[in-house]
Amino acid sequence: MRKRKVKAQVTIIIIVAIVIVGVILAIYAINIKTSPKFNSYDDTQINQINKQIYYCIEQRAIDVIYLLGLQGGYVNIPDDYVTTDLSDVAYGLKDNQNKLPTVLEVENEISGYIDFSSTYCLDKDFLEETYDIQTDFKDSETRVKIKDNSVEIEVYMPVVLTKGEATYEFDEKYNYEIPIRLGKIINIANQIIEKQKQSEDNIPLTYLSNIETKIIFDYIDSETIVYIIHDEESKVDETIYNFMFALEIG
């Protein structure tokens, strides 16, 4: 496993700080494609639990998309990566081979994280001890579709709540459309990687300046560059999305 310690530039520090703050606030501004009928049950407390599950999963979706942006497209980062003072960043180019995850692989990273973390959106012990509500639920099934201009997520997590003599079943799909242009960003990353493979030296600044998003890069050492795609058209709650990946050069 190869690691490199880095003193990151001030620009990168500022960008990541903005991302972290934005993720905390993001839940209030997400573009919801469809939402459950939170008042469809005759018990206010049950409706509130349904709403809590919905927004909890929503936050998990935001978290994972921003997280993989800081790690080169991965939640579970590969063994070979660059270690910075801010995060571990996967290689997009190593040994002159494109190592960037495909769109399908990124979709699987997102769905896997949501399926794992969504189980924590319902505290069975708390509901039973505090409200005498019995819960039963199955593992969630998440489908993710990365498009050029958004990420569409559908989560099916059947839940059954028993309160006294009444039984309530949440048998609906939670749908979200997150306005991150992840498909377009991954495509831009691949373009930069392929350009680097063709270049004997560094990519010309004129090439980078013609890309529709802002491109920031930092020399880690004489053999490694970390690129950041800073897309001002991709944001949640005015938090601009960033996608980082490392390139081995030379």
Evaluate whether residue 242 is within a structural domain.
yes
Evaluate whether residue 37 is within a structural domain.
yes
Number of domains in the chain: 1
**Burial degree of 71 (CB within 10 A; 0-12, 13-18, 19+):** buried
Evaluate whether residue 2 is within a structural domain.
no
Evaluate whether residue 77 is within a structural domain.
yes
Evaluate whether residue 50 is within a structural domain.
yes
What confidence category does residue 166 fall into, taking pLDDT thresholds of 50, 70 and 90? confident
More confident residue, 247 or 135: 247
Q: What is the pLDDT of residues 66-99, one digit of tens each?
A: 999 999 999 999 998 998 877 899 999 999 999 9
User: What are 131-137's contacts with CB under 8 Å, separation 24+?
Assistant: 131/45, 131/163, 132/163, 132/164, 133/45, 133/49, 133/161, 133/162, 133/163, 134/161, 134/162, 134/163, 135/159, 135/160, 135/161, 135/162, 136/160, 136/162
Q: What is the pLDDT of residues 135-162, one digit of tens each?
A: 888 888 999 999 999 999 999 998 988 8
What confidence category does residue 41 fall into, taking pLDDT thresholds of 50, 70 and 90? low
**What's the confidence (pLDDT) of residue 71?**
96
Evaluate whether residue 132 is within a structural domain.
yes
Evaluate whether residue 40 is within a structural domain.
yes
**What's the confidence (pLDDT) of residue 40?**
54
What confidence category does residue 124 fall into, taking pLDDT thresholds of 50, 70 and 90? confident
Angstrom distances, CA of residue 217 to CA of 179, 188, 244: 24, 14, 9
Residues 6+ apart with CB under 8 A from 210: none
Evaluate whether residue 55 is within a structural domain.
yes
Range of the domain at 102: 10-248
Could you tell me how many residues make up the chain? 250
d(CA 120, CA 118): 5
